[in-house]
Chain A
């Protein structure tokens, strides 16, 4: 779908000639002439205006009644007045009406000082009140949810929160009860409003009716500073503004970026800041002393790490994940490759290595889709990912596209998706059967291959696959965007590329592929060289090293002496927890950067460096669509935490034998953050010339810069799809699928406000299987295969496919990674042993 073309119209406002894009609402058009029209209910992010608050009434010549500027598009030649007596009186009136029932408790209100109602009362109100009657009363404040307090007396009934719940996040929980002056916001049956995006209503509220419980009474606007940065808790990389008071992050707000987050945040991004200030956070280096980790000085920790790594030269495996920046990844791979002579670096902790040729083909600038493309595409296919868990903010973007721009949505996933109900078409295939499914789709799009046979291998419905091919492939249908998850797996990628080729995605401006990586900066880590078969800039390496899974196996077999874990807990993030436990136990040296201690680190780590939180970090990250974004420190480091790029640089200096190429200053290792960035940029040809200034506060997509020409082109398709391996046939057992919840993260577990959402192992079972196994909702069950098992709570899901169960991954322990991937599981009710 082509973006609407922007025509400029000229209209007059308060006697001034103003030019503005055609079709924008008068409220926004007026800003082009520096005229502010006050609003409460108007918020373009929420969709069509509702004209409820009546604050924006203006006079338009030729129309007898005053008009709401929020809902009147500017037209050529329109003559608007916002300062006439008539308009002023209407504005005064609305302010007066709004305050009739407002408690005016500004001195004790959290919103005081940053409250649109205060500001508008000051700017457009009469300054006096004629109301002497008693006001409306409600019980207050009440808990709308564990995260949000509601004060219904302050509410001016602008509808924003209700519209958000109904029309943006589509959780359909918030409604307006009663009517008239007795109206109030709540949930239908007063259950707590818990939803992945609930916190946005706090920011939407133009008064102090909805307040953040973690932030309540913590600060006044004049106590705080705002610090812009990027949230790196998931690949969405939303732009945020940290509210900082006395070097503590007290709140996280959205920093609207239409090309990234559309101004929304998920509740993890909004509330997990509490983990930054957790008592349990590691804030000083820890060094092993016998069977204990003890705090140590930086000198000691660095020299202990350097000497241990030095001893293991040539036998070091390194992993990076989580909030790792491009610079850190670049320095770590240089440290390991050049300083320690090992090729074993990876950033796909639970994935399979991706052949370099395929990577280059997939990351080709022409084939890349951007976040806004999702909204303007003709058809969006969500493939093998659950956006609300894997990159939450994209979930909202997809819903927006479907709701407001008529995007056709197709969902192809093993597990039922929360987007199914918005989809024109959804289909299921067996967990891990992406290869067969995509091969079938390619065949249905006209390639050779037997659709029915491949569908049988994928356990997908051939009719649905053909319908999907029709939906995607019909000529002249417009742009298709395929949003695919990294967990789709390397074997499926040739077929994915062929599908993209058949659909001509590379040739269309608004079409393409968009990968949701498994870790927050997955794309950046790979482009910085943090993978076994590619160096910085997806360059070729002399000899490929071991992938994450191979590193684990090698370490467990004693073939690797040292493991370096940068912001990753492989027990949680990896595919095989028992193997990683063996690996960590066997390795003689384990160096980790971590914010929190895990059992394994406590037992096996040689040195633990304190990890910075993203609020303290300096550096860059790369968004899944190629946008480089800048992290800027919002707070100082707690305790003796140091910038981690500098820790890596120190280690490099300590172990290095030679000066790396390309550093014109002659320093082997960076001495400042920007220097680290420069070295990274010099090493990645398609980042060439990029500076922190250019990235600025809004980021820049490298594909849109001239240096993108230096991108190493991959081979042209079609690619050899190969024969898909059949997924294991369950033979009476059940297939195991996994998912990683948005809440399966250490930041959630360490943020007191979010703790109630932290995941424990849940097994999603179809009603048919549950009945067959005699399981009821909430039962404790034991799930197992190959002599391994975990205990989980059963959750019966009406739309889950029979024959497959889905188990939580990403847990600190006891999740899906305890089991053998791809092997059928048996499920039994756990022996209920009641202990007195």
Chain B
């Protein structure tokens, strides 16, 4: 069950080479796609119901169909920045099967009528970047890239660009700025990249896994692909399981199987004697879920309904040996470090949250500070320029609300250790109204 489409041959030796990839049926989908009219390829993508695998879960075919018609340069950008903590599926995919991504990009570019494409890969993925460079070169020499690919009227250039290690450059518009050579800051939307993206041109941006799925959709046919998974979460998904599990790693699952099956069945669950305390269903930016929610089907809608999200499909399991305060603080520190500083709530909110959690950690805080922490997360959510602020606020808020007792107990224990005595709650000041 864990090797359905993308990971079917993933451990085949030499799969990174074109020769082995083609022997395994690689680039057949490309040839097939190029024989179809552009519209038919796009229709297959629409039919497949494939939702973006990068985190937002937006329907990929729909996004491709947003690109305006016309003869201007259009761009396809592959987001290979994979910077969300807990996510490492794209790395394995690119490392072991780079041609699957390249093939997917060529087909997706054809569907969207893009003639220039880029892979923006995170700086730390040096090995993967080298592997991709080789794959791109192989594809180019085989005539899969360049002018009039395989005699069709589809032309495409593909350039690999390595980032410099900023989380925010995984945000699509920050990525575009960075790719243009600017400071990687998110842009205001609208305009959306489909209309004004890279170099102000129409741009389709997709995650590695999303694009790597495209050849399989063409191979199976969009409608056939849609039969996998659930109605609104079609297909298979690569899941990166990490944290307190016995067999961490990447697993390909059909969307909609119970989360318990992934965490316990595939990844082996926590060590013996330990229980799951909470888990992140979709990377470190997703609100945490409790063991009670382990039997939910693992798909986009069920996770959303439970108040969290499937995100990039990175499950982080935290067992009962861990302190929720530590997890919250570590996470907040990460997002503070990665906040670009452009918009106020994220820049100041992440910074302030860390300072407050540090006081909680050291026992200098009072339960009232937990209210302030919760309220600050509320103030961040939905008010930022991009989703980085929410990425901290959502999990921190969920931890404070679901594990409030543990936070309070932590403060008490710390205070006792430090001999600080009972906290004295200051009387909150009432705001004095204007003119009173």
Contact = CB atoms under 8 A, between A and B. Distances in A.
A157 B349 contact: no
A22 B356 CA distance: 45
A100 B351 contact: yes
Contacts of A94: 344-345, 383
Contacts of A51: 188, 343, 385
B352 interface: yes
Contacts of B339: 179-181
A50 interface: yes
Contact of A71 (B188, B384, B433): B188
A101 to B, nearest CB: 6
Contacts of A159: 342
A792 B429 CA distance: 68
Interface secondary structure of A, over-half rule: loop
A97 B352 contact: yes
Nearest to A94: B344
Given A128-B429, A181-B347, A54 B352 contact: no
A133 B356 contact: yes
Contact of A100 (B337, B348, B433): B348
Q: Which residue, B345, B350, B430, has most C-beta atoms of chain A within 10 A?
A: B345
A51 B188 CA distance: 6
B125 to A, nearest CB: 21
Q: Which residue, B343, B372, B379, B430, has most C-beta atoms of chain A within 10 A?
A: B343
Given A52-B344, A180-B341, A181-B351, A128 B385 contact: no
Contacts of A175: 183
Interface string B93-115: 00000000000000000000000
Contacts of A122: 434
Q: Which residue, A97, A175, A178, has most C-beta atoms of chain B within 10 A?
A: A97
B338 interface: yes
Contacts of B341: 157, 176, 178-183
Given A54-B383, A122-B434, A97 B349 contact: yes
A274 to B, nearest CB: 36
A82 B431 CA distance: 21
A135 to B, nearest CB: 10
B61 to A, nearest CB: 24
Interface in B405-436: 428-434
Interface residues of A, number: 41
Contacts of A98: 344, 348
Contact of B383 (A52, A57, A101): A57
Given A65-B382, A93-B379, A133-B359, A180 B372 contact: no
Contacts of B351: 100-101, 136, 180-181
Nearest to B348: A97
Contacts of B350: 180-181
A122 B372 CA distance: 22
Nearest to B168: A179
B379 A157 contact: no
Nearest to A65: B382
B355 interface: yes
Q: Which residue, B336, B340, B341, has most C-beta atoms of chain A within 10 A?
A: B341
Contacts of A136: 351
A703 interface: no
B359 A179 contact: no
Contacts of B349: 97
A773 interface: no
A130 interface: yes
A176 B385 CA distance: 17
Interface in A170-204: 175-176, 178-183
Contact of B347 (A65, A134, A183): A183
Q: Which residue, B183, B356, B383, has most C-beta atoms of chain A within 10 A?
A: B383
Nearest to B359: A133
A176 B182 CA distance: 11
A224 interface: no
Interface string B371-387: 01000000100111100
Contacts of B352: 97, 100, 131, 133
B382 A97 contact: no
Contacts of B428: 128
A176 B183 contact: yes
Contacts of A284: none
A573 interface: no
Q: Which residue, A100, A128, A134, A178, has most C-beta atoms of chain B within 10 A?
A: A100
A614 B359 CA distance: 59
B431 A126 contact: yes
A183 B185 CA distance: 12
Interface in A47-83: 49-55, 57, 65-66, 68, 71
Contacts of A134: 355
A127 B382 CA distance: 23
A747 interface: no
A293 interface: no
Interface string B301-328: 0000000000000000000000000000
A89 interface: yes
A318 interface: no
B385 A54 contact: yes
A180 B337 contact: yes
A745 interface: no
A93 B183 contact: no
B355 A180 contact: no
B436 to A, nearest CB: 11
Given A65-B382, A97-B352, A133-B352, A127 B432 contact: yes
Interface string A88-130: 0110011011101100000000000000000000100011101
B53 to A, nearest CB: 24
A98 B337 CA distance: 18
A647 interface: no
Nearest to B431: A127
Contacts of A97: 344-345, 347-349, 352, 379
A157 B432 contact: no
A295 to B, nearest CB: 57
Given A68-B188, A101-B351, A128-B429, A53 B344 contact: yes
A556 interface: no
B188 A49 contact: yes
Nearest to A98: B344
A455 B355 CA distance: 70
A156 interface: yes
A52 B372 CA distance: 24
Interface string B54-69: 0000000000000000
B384 A54 contact: yes
A381 B187 CA distance: 34
Contacts of A127: 431-433
Nearest to A159: B342
Interface in B183-212: 183, 188
B348 A90 contact: no
Contacts of B344: 52-55, 94, 97-98, 156-157
Contacts of A101: 348, 351
Nearest to B346: A180
A128 B372 contact: no
A130 B372 contact: yes
A53 B348 contact: no
A54 B344 CA distance: 7
Given A128-B431, A180-B340, A66 B345 contact: no
A60 to B, nearest CB: 13
23 contacts: A49-B188, A51-B343, A52-B344, A53-B343, A53-B344, A54-B343, A66-B382, A93-B379, A94-B383, A96-B379, A97-B348, A97-B352, A98-B348, A122-B434, A127-B433, A156-B344, A179-B168, A179-B338, A180-B337, A180-B338, A180-B341, A181-B351, A183-B347
Given A93-B345, A159-B342, 15 more contacts: A54-B345, A54-B384, A96-B379, A97-B345, A97-B379, A101-B351, A122-B434, A128-B428, A128-B429, A130-B372, A133-B355, A156-B344, A176-B183, A179-B339, A181-B350
**7 closest A-B pairs (Cβ-Cβ)?**
A93-B379, A183-B341, A181-B351, A97-B348, A127-B431, A180-B339, A133-B355
